[in-house]
Chains A and B, each alone.
Chain A
């Protein structure tokens, strides 16, 4: 009888336990693993023998604003009532949003405005779309924007996907470090084993690895993303175009750009779709005009000269690329 009682008591206890208020601890969702940095595609050796800087040679006289030749891509833009441009909104002095006025402004933006003025006679007939570095080529290939002005380096590999205008600025890559760093250049062994940030998918990243293979490269989506990593201590330095670094240093008094000679040449071009060579030719005419009438220099002096010093002359255009369908 005692056994029976003990057994029934045991059964009761077990059954009661399942109805009590003890719950399993709430499961904490696993942290999404940061995607392993995809091995960068090995740069395809460029077999193209044309000078990468060479763009399509302008033909004929430049059409007057508002009188675009019928059937041309400029006419299509004109009918659309605005030029759609892919730009950066966070590269100080190149393309950045002025937080006070809310407008995006800078050296790159001045180029876009000049193109708009040549088409519409109104430099504000522009729709600026903010894009990230890795988006630059895709948005041109699927033609969601007409033109990209986002400190984009002209090179042979990119010519396979898109077309470039003639060079509108010659930048070069340098490295930004904390103010107390004693390193003299990017090659300096003092930087060995340090993390240096460069935007993903940029030429800066490849150049950096080539210049000093002993540093640990990390990436962010944008140049400003690198500056955040730098400020939070996750990156020791930032490598990039001197134009961009100048903007970064202007935002952070505890950063300095290494006093070195640029270790790469970064000729900037306006990116356009390969499908409209007449538009590329037109933009080349606009740039030539700007360089000739001093608008280019005025813009340089306004945005870049305070950080990068005076410049004697804008880069000379190179033409002669055959138009291939």
Chain B
């Protein structure tokens, strides 16, 4: 994500021989007089105006280039950071989903359902891949991701130890599982949350920066136009010729560049705002809803594992479920998520009813683990339906974000690299126009 720098403002006009002389021989008394002489009288003023007008033209060119590069860069970075944010949230989702599998598998003991085991393996594999991708996409995240990787190695190790012991029917397996869960909750997820927060902030900064380019073009343009008009007016008064065509042409070029530029930047910033409030907001909300949903699912299993002393987990479930509902409400446009989540909530209510009210822990576990002998609608299927539908929606909104931001960038006129040439062109027009008048004094 490097930004193309505009060329340094080096060569707007060659230094005059006098200046060079002054620089070369600082000790001699004469040169100062020579420079002063050069700016003396009406031709001197003309030269002074020429220098000022030419300088401001180049500065305007640079401002326009800067403004466009800034907005263009901000759009590009907003897209890159939004992609990184989606990546980090995908890591988060994969981790909580793997953990939900692991805790749910605990309820069935050493004989894990093959499908669930596969889902766990797939989730951990995608998380590992995404960590590597994210580290190369954003150097600033590298340290945190490195730490995250360390905790994930520990987590996975503990899970495998838990499985090995469970498979042998040793109760210590459950302790390893608890430790694995604690590692994920206390070591891994705080890192992921820090990464999410940092990237959200970066996206916000860049979205906010898209509009800044407008001011460069606008202020640069107004300033340049002011100086050019003052120059024109002064010339008109002093020389009694109302219009100097080249200088007027220069002023028109500046005005047009400014108009087109500000309009384009204004439009781009509007598009960015639309994306931010539309697809980007939906992406955020969907990601958060999915993460909270997996958390809730883990807590449902943990409540059952705790066998009646799981009040804390059940409270955590309720909190997560509320987050899911709140986030789903923020999604613009239609979403199947809310309806499917309500269905899952019903199976959850069944589980709680069996466990707490009827004291039938075994049936509650059967519903929660999708055991075929439970006649109630099982929560595994209900959750899968929610998971699949929201995953699809998330894919649509996140590709929407990058598509829209790309469109906004492609819609920008090429002032980013034309800015300086335009500035130089206007400066040359100034020199041409002024030299016509200066010639009359020779």
| Interface positions of A (Cβ within 8 A of B) | 1-2, 4-5, 8-9, 12, 15-16, 19-29, 31-32, 81-82, 84, 86, 89-92, 96-100, 102, 104, 127-131, 135, 139, 144, 222, 224-225, 227-228, 231, 247, 251-252
Contact = CB atoms under 8 A, between A and B. Distances in A.
Contacts of A8: 9, 59
B109 A89 contact: no
B209 A19 contact: yes
Interface string B104-144: 00011111000000000000000000000000001011111
19 contacts: A1-B19, A8-B9, A9-B9, A19-B3, A19-B209, A23-B138, A23-B140, A25-B143, A26-B199, A28-B191, A28-B194, A92-B171, A129-B307, A130-B306, A130-B309, A135-B309, A224-B174, A231-B172, A251-B171
B308 interface: yes
B175 to A, nearest CB: 4
Given A21-B77, A99-B169, A130 B140 contact: no
Nearest to A223: B175
Contacts of B194: 26-29
Nearest to B88: A26
B365 interface: yes
B404 interface: no
A98 B172 CA distance: 11
Given A100-B110, A100-B169, A129-B309, A90 B66 contact: no
A26 B192 CA distance: 10
Interface residues of B, number: 66
Nearest to A100: B169
A46 B175 CA distance: 35
Which 7 A-B pairs have CB atoms at the shortest separation, nearest pair first? A21-B1, A129-B308, A99-B109, A224-B175, A26-B198, A23-B140, A96-B171
Q: Interface majority SS on B: helix, strand, loop or mixed? A: helix
A197 to B, nearest CB: 12
B8 interface: yes
Contact of B365 (A91, A102, A224, A251): A102
B26 interface: no
B307 A102 contact: no
A71 B84 CA distance: 66
Given A19-B73, A144-B309, A228-B176, 20 more contacts: A12-B6, A15-B66, A19-B3, A19-B70, A21-B77, A25-B140, A26-B143, A26-B144, A27-B198, A84-B308, A86-B309, A97-B171, A102-B365, A128-B308, A130-B309, A131-B309, A224-B175, A228-B172, A228-B175, A231-B172
Given A26-B195, A28-B191, A21 B175 contact: no
Interface in B268-291: none
Contacts of B73: 19-21
Nearest to A228: B175
B217 to A, nearest CB: 14
Given A15-B66, A19-B73, A127-B359, A1 B51 contact: yes
Contact of A20 (B3, B140, B305): B3
B83 to A, nearest CB: 13
Contacts of B19: 1-2
Given A19-B212, A99-B173, A224-B174, A26 B307 contact: no
B307 A128 contact: yes
B33 interface: no
B186 A127 contact: no
Contacts of A9: 8-9
B20 to A, nearest CB: 11
Nearest to B307: A130
B442 to A, nearest CB: 23
A12 B59 CA distance: 10
B301 to A, nearest CB: 13
Contacts of A20: 2-3, 73
A89 B359 contact: no
A5 to B, nearest CB: 6
